[in-house]
Structure 1
Amino acid sequence: MSDTDSGYLTTHVLDTARGCPAADLCIELYRLEGERRTRLARLRTNADGRSDAPLLAGAEFRAGCYELIFQAGDYLAASGAPGGFLGDIPIRFTVDAPDEHYHVPLLLSPFGYSTYRGS
């Protein structure tokens, strides 16, 4: 997609402890409207730690609150990471300009994580 297209949402996950993309990590996307929580997508990351297509785009990508759930615990256990400290990681964010690209990456290690709005 180009910058002239309507807005869309992407993500990727990097395993910072191993220094590689987090492949085959399950991610769910929800739209939050008051007490209502609607699942919009469920996917697994590809070999590059990304989805094969935007998680949400076009008319479906509208202003509001969203939540990404990264099933990090399952990924970390499968990769042989020590500890078992992290489980599911929820990241809630607000889209206020649905005509823009929102990129929400996750930088993951067995004992911590970080995120930011990327480009």
Structure 2
Amino acid sequence: MTTSTTASVSTHVLDTSVGRPARGVTVRIAARRGSSGDWQPLGGSATDADGRCKDLPALPEGTTRVRLDFEVEAYFGTAAQNQADAQQDAPANRDSGAGAFFPEVTVTFAVDPGEHYHVPLLLNPFGYSVYRGS
């Protein structure tokens, strides 16, 4: 629940190499106060069939910075290939070699109290993009 003293965060992951949500990506969240405080791990979740994490832990009061850690290596190692194989319109060979070029993606951003931040990750084996969604 968002109050005047806390921000909230949501995310989802889309695999642009197959044009589908990325299922089974582990996402961890951490928070801190100020730009130089210690990171406080809050827990994590995994993306569902729609590529969304619907149960990320709430942010503590006074949070000003948030870090999302996406573990994508395992996704590209097995889950994404299984997903691609099951889709007739997906590329048969991603030419991804041994897996993802970026095995982990870390996104750090500033938050203001009372605001909601939706941070989508657009992912493929050789790159990624993030943005503040709505």
Q: TM-score per shorter chain, which class?
A: 0.7 to 0.9
The Cα RMSD (Å) is: 2.0
1:49-77 Cα distance to aligned partner (Å, 9 max, x none): 011235425xx254411110000111111
TM-score by length of 1: 0.83
Poorly superposed stretches of 4+, deviation over 3 Å: none
Which residue of 96, 105, 109 corresponds with 1:93? 109
CA distance in 2, matches of 1:106, 1:116: 7
**Corresponding residue of 2:44:** 42
| Greater strand fraction, Structure 1 or Structure 2 | 1
**Which residues in structure 2 correspond to 1:37-116 (within 5 Å)?**
37-56=39-58, 60=60, 62-78=62-78, 79-80=80-81, 82-83=96-97, 84=99, 85-95=101-111, 97-116=112-131
Structure showing greater Rg = 2
8 Å Cα contact 1:14-1:107 kept in structure 2: yes
8 Å Cα contact 1:86-1:110 kept in structure 2: yes
TM-score by length of 2: 0.75
CA distance in 2, matches of 1:72, 1:61: 29
Q: Unaligned 5+ residue runs, structure 1? A: none
**Corresponding residue of 2:16:** 16
8 Å Cα contact 1:69-1:89 kept in structure 2: yes
Identity across the alignment (%)? 38
Q: CA, structure 1 residues 52+11, in 2 after alignment: closer, same or farther (shift >3 Å)?
A: same
Q: Unaligned 5+ residue runs, structure 2? A: 82-93
Q: What is the identity, as a one-letter code, of the residue corresponding to 1:36?
A: D
